[in-house]
Amino acid sequence: MTEDEKLRADARANRGRILEVARQALTSDPGASLNQIAKAAGIGAGTLYRHFPNREALLAAVYHQEVQALVQLAPALLDTYSPLEALHHWCERFANAGSVKQGIADTLNAAVSVEDLQHTYRLLVDAVRVLMEACEQVDGIGKGHDPEAVLTLLSSTLRIRPGAHGKALTKRVLDLIILGLRPSPST
Amino acid sequence: MTEDEKLRADARANRGRILEVARQALTSDPGASLNQIAKAAGIGAGTLYRHFPNREALLAAVYHQEVQALVQLAPALLDTYSPLEALHHWCERFANAGSVKQGIADTLNAAVSVEDLQHTYRLLVDAVRVLMEACEQVDGIGKGHDPEAVLTLLSSTLRIRPGAHGKALTKRVLDLIILGLRPSPST
DNA sequence: ACCTGAACACCGTTCAAGT
DNA sequence: ACCTGAACACCGTTCAAGT
């Protein structure tokens, strides 16, 4: 019996609808208000706060889903592609993290304090670590680099504005990150 | 006669006091409200809005000062240190941008749309370019890297939370950025 | 046990009235 | 010209009252 199944039927349905509606609302407007979301979900404001104690908690839950997808993508890519190609693909997918880019960036920012976010954060760091370690046996990637530092660098792409210039800049930024992973001459 | 001197004496004094008070208030609390700032500056809310049409404009003005300091620091460092040392020092200073880190990050984010922010943004890109070009004649830094991409990577450090772990992470991130600037084996 | 929705304190922003 | 500060619409959050 999962945590979710402990809830009464109507409560479980509400929780799901809140997350679904919130996801859509925040996609079209990252500043959407909780009252708007509650109304769109057809529930009272108090119900929303019963499920998510504050705005940050709701955002964390929404973005956690997107992070889950990214985390699961890493081993899948390693199954299909060479390690270096997998790393490249994953970084691109990360940089274009759906329509919730800013939200993921905020999740990473806040990750130090909140319990739930720390877990999300560690999942991402581990995904990066798995990709990097697979690459260490391949030309072009050196050993001993820090996955957390790489994730921090990757997060800078989440703040890049959409558009043609942003797309080109994202590519240059990702290339520069990979360049940083080259093995040192001595090693 | 500068733009500032065109203002009536009281208006000029108010503008200065707003900026000074806002700087202090935002330093201790990045979410400080404009009404609070107006009150602390001893002026009406309308006066604040006469000088800065909205919250973003006030923040931009405050953070612009910090950016100016960073921009002027680049040539000064090149006068005192070797190019590579100057680049290192500047990156560290950038990563610890006073108490307005998050604010500078927001300025960089918003830089694409707003006129005034674009100017601020270009100043920073140029500062990075000057440092990088000076380093191109030095061991360890390759040619042809993109200053805007480097600035984007640097901006990821502005989101790191303070504390012991954050300090160590910042160092690793900066090291990784510099590693990305190594010349390619072929060149 | 869970939900509703009016209410609270506060926010960014405006504007009639003053000097 | 410039300033004041009450007022507006809205925000996140709470809580008495319902089922």
Q: What is the pLDDT of residues B94-115, one digit of tens each?
A: 998 755 667 666 666 655 455 6
CA(B33)–C1'(C11) in Å? Answer: 7
Q: What is the pLDDT of residue A88?
A: 95
Has residue B4 got a pLDDT over 90? no
Give the residue nearest to nucleotide C16 (CA to C1'). Answer: B46
Task: Report the distance separating Cα A74 and Cα B151, nearest Å.
Answer: 27
Task: Report the distance separating Cα A105 and Cα A101, nearest Å.
Answer: 6
Q: What is the pLDDT of residue A72?
A: 96
> What is the pTM for the complete model shown?
0.87
In strand D, the nucleotides that come within 7 Å of a protein beta carbon are 1-7, 10-16
**Does the distance separating the beta carbons of B180 and A176 come in below 8 Å?**
yes
- Asked if A104 and A154 count as a contact pair (C-beta separation under 8 A), the reply is no
Q: Average the pLDDT over A128-154 and give the result.
A: 91
CA angle B48, B54, B56 (to 5 degrees): 120
Q: What is the pLDDT of residue A147?
A: 96
Has residue A112 got a pLDDT over 50? no
Buried b (16+ CB within 10 A) or exposed e, B75-107: eebbeeeebbebbbbbbeebbebeebbbbbbbb
Q: A147-155 and B164-180 helices cross at what angle (nearest 10)? A: 80
CA(B55)–C1'(C12) in Å? Answer: 8
Q: What is the pLDDT of residue B161?
A: 78
- Contacts (Cβ under 8 Å, ≥6 apart) of A85: A77
Has residue A60 got a pLDDT over 50? yes
pLDDT tens track for B161-172: 778 888 999 999
pLDDT tens track for B16-29: 999 999 999 988 88
Q: Which residues of A touch B144 (CB under 8 A)?
A: none
CA B177 centroid distance within chain: 18
Residue with tokens 């955002």: A59
Cβ pairs bridging A and B (under 8 Å): 83
Structure-token pair, residue B65: 């000062």
pLDDT tens track for B112-130: 455 667 788 899 999 999 9
The count of C-alpha atoms lying within 13 angstroms of the C-alpha of B35, restricted to the half-sphere facing its C-beta, is 0
**Mean pLDDT (chain B, rounded):** 87
